Amino acid sequence: MLDACCSNPLAGAETCELPAPALQRPARQMALCSSCGEKGKPVQTQTVKAMLAVSLRAMTDGEYLFCRTPTCPVVYFSADGNQTFVVEQLRERVYQKESQADDVLVCYCFHHTVGEIRAASAQARLLIVEDINQGIQAGQCACELRNPQGSCCLGNVRGLIKQYENAG
Ligand SMILES: [Zn+2]
């Protein structure tokens, strides 16, 4: 599966210019979250290392996946299914798990919150997207270290804006 923002037609081609080390794909095994049963998204080991609030000695060598299910407490799990890390074990709150919380970040690199986007006018929302785009262009983002999903936030930001627009 492609990165969420790259596969999102709304995100546009200007995103995801980060150098992406080749991710080791799970070798045809079904990398399903043991808690919710949904398919995980492969995430770089450095993202897990940056996000954990527990000793990194707990990590194993294998690949990790990110669980996007809003109602599932698991954020990362090992591809072999033997290990999980839940929301309480992270240093950062996770947008996918609390996407209605005003004080949770949706853009982790440039600090835009759900509440800020909710409260913004249509024009201000465009400026937020523009700010993120300019930060990306300037190479100022570090999504793989700051965003729990380990990839660009822009698809999430655009999705959130669309959600509020559709809600009127
Ligand atoms: Zn899950």
Q: Cα(85) to centroid of ligand 1, in Å? A: 10
Contact present, 77 and 65 (Cβ < 8 Å): yes
Q: In angstroms, rounded to a whole number, what is the distance separating the alpha carbons of residues 50 and 33? A: 21
Q: Cα(140) to centroid of ligand 1, in Å? A: 31
Q: Cα(67) to centroid of ligand 1, in Å? A: 5
pLDDT at 12: 46
Burial class of residue 115 (count of CB atoms within 10 Å of its CB; 0-12, 13-18, 19+): middle
Q: Cα(165) to centroid of ligand 1, in Å? A: 28
Residue-wise pLDDT for 115-152, tens only, equals: 999 999 999 999 999 999 999 999 999 999 999 999 99
Q: Cα(76) to centroid of ligand 1, in Å? A: 8
Rounded to whole angstroms, what are the CA distances from 120 to 31, 129, 149?
38, 12, 24
Q: Cα(136) to centroid of ligand 1, in Å? A: 29
Q: Cα(123) to centroid of ligand 1, in Å? A: 35
Q: Tokens for 124?
A: 């201000």
Contact present, 107 and 153 (Cβ < 8 Å): yes
Rounded (10°) angle between helices 154-166 and 122-137: 170
pLDDT at 81: 87
Provide the percentage of residues in the chain whose pLDDT is more than 70: 82
Tracing tokens 């004080």 back to the chain, one arrives at 103
Q: With bands split at pLDDT 50, 70 and 90, how would you rate the model's confidence at 4?
A: very low
Q: Cα(36) to centroid of ligand 1, in Å? A: 4
Backbone angles phi, psi at 113, to 5 degrees: -100, 165
Q: Cα(119) to centroid of ligand 1, in Å? A: 30
Q: Cα(138) to centroid of ligand 1, in Å? A: 34
84 Cβ neighbours under 8 A, 6+ residues apart: 33, 34, 35, 74, 76, 77, 78
Residue-wise pLDDT for 48-100, tens only, equals: 999 999 999 999 989 999 999 999 999 999 999 899 999 999 999 999 999 99
Whether pLDDT at 8 is above 80: no
